[in-house]
Structure formats: structure tokens, C-alpha cells
Amino acid sequence: MVASVSKEMDTQALWKRYEDWLYYHEGLGLYLDISRMRFTDSLVETLKPKFEKAFQDMAALEGGAIANPDENRMVGHYWLRDPDLAPLSLGQEIIDTLKQIETFVQKVHSGEIVPPEAPKFTDILSIGIGGSALGPQFVAEALSPLDSPMPIHFIDNTDPAGIDRVLNKLGDRLKSTLVIVTSKSGGTPETRNGMLEVKHAYELQNLNFPKHAVAITMQGSKLDELGGMEGWVAEFPMFDWVGGRTSQFSAVGLLAASLQGIDVRAILQGAKDADSATRIPDLKQNPAALLALAWYYAGNGKGERDMVILPYKDSLLLFSRYLQQLVMESLGKETDLDGKVVNQGIAVYGNKGSTDQHAYVQQLREGVPNFFATFIEVLQDREGDSIEVEPGATSGDYLSGLLQGTRRALYDNRRDSIVITIPEVTPYTVGLLIALYERAVGLYASLVNVNAYHQPGVEAGKKAAASVLDLQTRAIAALKDAGQPISLTELAIQAGAPDEIETIYKILRHLEANDRGVRLEGDRAKPSSLTVSAS
């Protein structure tokens, strides 16, 4: 009896907390519920000055401040959906680029721009990685219509088998495929490799690659030069002041979406309206600030809890992967803006509900409590009516019930969660979701005092990879010079890298597996016993 009274009181208190913290925006059709994050009023009070600073930082950023000091760059992704905000003549560049995209797409769709070897372009092949892939992939998965005028395919890696899979799928349609090569820097090796592999595939079929190729890159980049030299079909600009992971509303996202027949003006409008809502310098009136508060609470301002993204809608499957880059590349930083070592970040993962309830949600409910969940709820089940799968209940009712049930089951076991609710998945709501998270990341970065707009850590892996490839060249040369089987130790000495035996061993093992003129002999369980020869 006592237990049930106290449960009743809990329910009442929770309902009140729900109403107190519920954010709703009529124009956006957006609800945000952070009531199941157990922060206290005193935390909110403590964070007030930090939020005031965060709002000021964001206003300065939108006003054209050098918000990315390490790279001495402005940060202008908010201008992409509201060019009037952009300083100097940048607004005009944004407007011109959008017009250029729309004109190009219209000409491709109408058959005014055609490939030399086919009556029309039928498919898109997008080559790019990271920020030059994840946005277009997420948007395609969420919004590409079944009867799209041009379905899209992606190469986002330097995996030869992965590239073959995409090329095989395209098969004969390569001759009617428009290839978009996207790289802001124009020098990312994976993208360069993908482009060269695809070009080779075109040449094997005697197809004129440049007449199928479009570049999206910064002026003056290697890709820009190559496209110009080879006479590619078109080129669209990437702006210095837009980072890859926030480039969905630049040509990077808009060209691919528009070619697929997705309403890009509606995407931009959704983002612009979300920006208006998230610009308000008042915590309770600002959904991005509320998200940032919830993240701060969850991880103690230090990312101590992971962000699990659970959209209960198949078409939003790639949202977590998209957010993984946006959040982790923006917030995962060794030092703060004062140069202090802070090792910040929030780990992001997730897939979709209710699917994940049959997999890792077991651990979320009962295992290590090192996360908070974010449910993305979509009110509309489908277009049209649903059958009843049992009296009075549809498949969509199940999905909705499973979301509510999981939220409750987690909360009952002291696991926190956020719920973001949108009416349906449309270009408008996808635009708003991206903009909402872009702003939340920006605000949170201010709260924890990190630069959200650079990625120095990514460089370390790239440099190490370059040195491995350099070592490969030297090892192959040394092997040829040796002219007879030699030990790995000897080869490392001959290659001028006596400290790199392990790396050399792995290079050789890989070359051998791919019939690249290397043979290893000896006990493979004891690599130090191996001798290597040219085969």
C-alpha cells in the first residue's frame, strides 16, 4: 500500500516535471522532453552564466567572428540557410551557388546536360569521406524517394572490395552515371583513390570519365585544378568558412539531394526556422540549449556518459552515424581554448528502435550505466492507413509503445533519456534536426570551453599512414636490392628503419596476400623467424 502511494506520487511528480521542462515549437512541430534527465534546479542555476557566455559566443560566431581560432577561420554554416546573416559578400556567394545547383540539376533532369554515351544521366555516384559523405548519406536514406529521378550510390572509403561492390552494382549504368567527387581540401587520399579507381573503371569501358565528373571543392585545391584541367562537367564551391561536418547545407549536401529529387529549399527552410528557435538566448525557450544542458548534466560536463541515439524510424537509421562525426569530431578535444589539457568529448552511438531493443538495449537497461539515451520519435506512422495487427493495435502503435516502454524501463532503472518528437520525416524536419544538433554542439562546446570547429587529432592518423606507405616503398626497394631471401631484421636495417620491424612485417604480409611480389617463409606464429624474398 505504502509503495503504491509513493509510486503514485512519483508519477505525479514526473508528470509535473514533464510539463515543466517540455519544449514545444508550433511552427517546427517539434517537442523536446528532457524531463527524464535527473538534473536539479541548482545545476541549472550554476550553469546560467555559462549559458549566457555560450549565447554570446554563438552570436559572435554568427556575426562573423574568427570562431575557429586555430585555423583562423570564420564559422559560417548558419549563413548557408540564411544568407542575409552572412558578412561581406558571402551571402551573395551562397545565393549564387544555390542558383547554380538548381540550374544544373534542372538541366540534368531535363536531359540538357547528358553523358556522351547515353541519352540521360540515370544514377549518381558520390565519392567522398567524413563530412563529405555522412550528410548526403543520411539525407539520402531519410528522404530519397522510391521513384527518385537519380538514385545515389556512395564510395566513402579506400576499400578495393567496397569500391568493386558499388561499381558492380552500377554495371552497365556507369555510362549514364554522374560522378560527384566531394572534398573540401581536395587532397584527401581516400577520396582521391576512389576517384582514380572509378576513372579507371570508366576507361576500361571506353567511357569519357571527365564528361561524367563533377567536383565539389575549395577553389585552388588539387581537385579544383584536376577538374579544370580535364574539363569536368561542372564544379561547385566549398567555402573556406564551412567545416566538412557542417556542410550539409552547402553544395555538398544540396547538389546530391536535389539530383535525387529531394526538396532542398524545404530542407533549408527547416534549418533556418530551427536556427531562429535556437538563437533565443533563454535556456527554457531554446531547444538546442536544453539539449546542451542535458548533455552537460549527463556527463558532468566531461563526457562521462555516452550519447545513445535511438530513432524509432527506419529512415532515420543513419542519424546516429551522422551525429557521431558532428559531436565527436567537434567536441573530442585534448585541450580547451585556454590550452589546458581537458580530454573532452561525448561518445555517440546508436542504430534504431525498436530493432536495438533486441540487441544491446539489454546492456543499457541492466549493465554499465555509462550512457544516456536520446529517443527520436516520429508521430506519423506512415502515409495512408494501417491494418490492425491485433484488435485495436497497428504496427505503428507497437513502435510507439516500444519507445515509451523502453524509456520507462530505462528510467525505472535510473538510466536517463531525452525524447525528441517530430511530426513526420520530411525535408523540413530533417533540416531542422541537423540544425538543432549543430547548434547544440556549438553551445555545448562553449559550456566546456573547446574549439568545436577544428580536428587536430585526425591529422595524427593521416601522418602515420603516410609514413607506413613511405616505409613500404623503402622496404620493397631494399628487398629488390637484396636479391635473395633475408630476415625481417635485416630487411628493416636495409630499409633504414631498424625500429620498424613490426610495421615492415605487416606491410609484407599484406603485400604477400595480394600477390604483390613478396614471399614469406618460416613459422608464421613466430614472425621473427620469417625470411622474406621477392617472388
Ligand X SMILES: O=P(O)(O)OC[C@H]1O[C@H](O)[C@H](O)[C@@H](O)[C@@H]1O
CB of 325 to ligand X, least distance (A): 7
Query: Using an 8 Å Cβ cutoff, are 472 and 507 in contact?
Result: yes
| Cis peptide leading into residue 354 (ω within 30°) | yes
- Tell me if 191 contacts ligand X by CB under 6 A: yes
- Tell me if 194 contacts ligand X by CB under 6 A: no
**How many amino acids of this chain bind ligand X (CB under 6 A)?**
14
- Tell me if 248 contacts ligand X by CB under 6 A: no
Residues in 382-411 that interact with ligand X by CB under 6 A: none
CB of 188 to ligand X, least distance (A): 3
d(CA 466, CA 487): 25
Instruction: Between 116 and 456, name the residue whose CB sits nearer to ligand X.
Output: 456
Helix (H) or strand (E) holding 73, with range, is none
Contact partners, residue 425, CB within 8 Å, separation at least 6: 142, 143, 313, 315, 316, 378
Instruction: Between 382 and 462, name the residue whose CB sits nearer to ligand X.
Output: 462
CB of 345 to ligand X, least distance (A): 14
- Tell me if 333 contacts ligand X by CB under 6 A: no
The alpha helices in 82-218, defined as continuous H runs, are: 90-110, 134-143, 160-170, 189-204
Contact partners, residue 453, CB within 8 Å, separation at least 6: 67, 68, 71, 73, 75, 243, 330
Per-residue string for binding with ligand X, 442-471, x by CB under 6 A?
-------------x--x-------------
Active site residues: 329, 358, 462
Nearest to 182 by CA among 94, 253, 240, 249: 253
- Tell me if 329 contacts ligand X by CB under 6 A: yes
- Tell me if 184 contacts ligand X by CB under 6 A: yes
- Tell me if 188 contacts ligand X by CB under 6 A: yes
Instruction: Between 183 and 400, name the residue whose CB sits nearer to ligand X.
Output: 183
Query: Using an 8 Å Cβ cutoff, are 37 and 294 in contact?
Result: yes
CB of 144 to ligand X, least distance (A): 22
Cα torsion 62, 322, 314, 435 to 10°: value is: 0
Whose CB is nearest to ligand X?
244
Task: Tell me which of 183, 330, 429, 446 binds ligand X, using CB under 6 A.
Answer: 183
d(CA 491, CA 121): 51
Amino acid at the residue 312: Y
Task: Tell me which of 227, 237, 244, 345 binds ligand X, using CB under 6 A.
Answer: 244
111 three-class SS:
coil
Instruction: Between 131 and 237, name the residue whose CB sits nearer to ligand X.
Output: 131
Instruction: Between 330 and 374, name the residue whose CB sits nearer to ligand X.
Output: 330
Where would I find the beta strands (DSSP E) of 12-73?
23-25, 30-33
Residues in 112-141 that interact with ligand X by CB under 6 A: 129-132
Binding-site ranges for ligand X (CB under 6 A): 129-132, 183-185, 188, 191, 244-245, 329, 455, 458
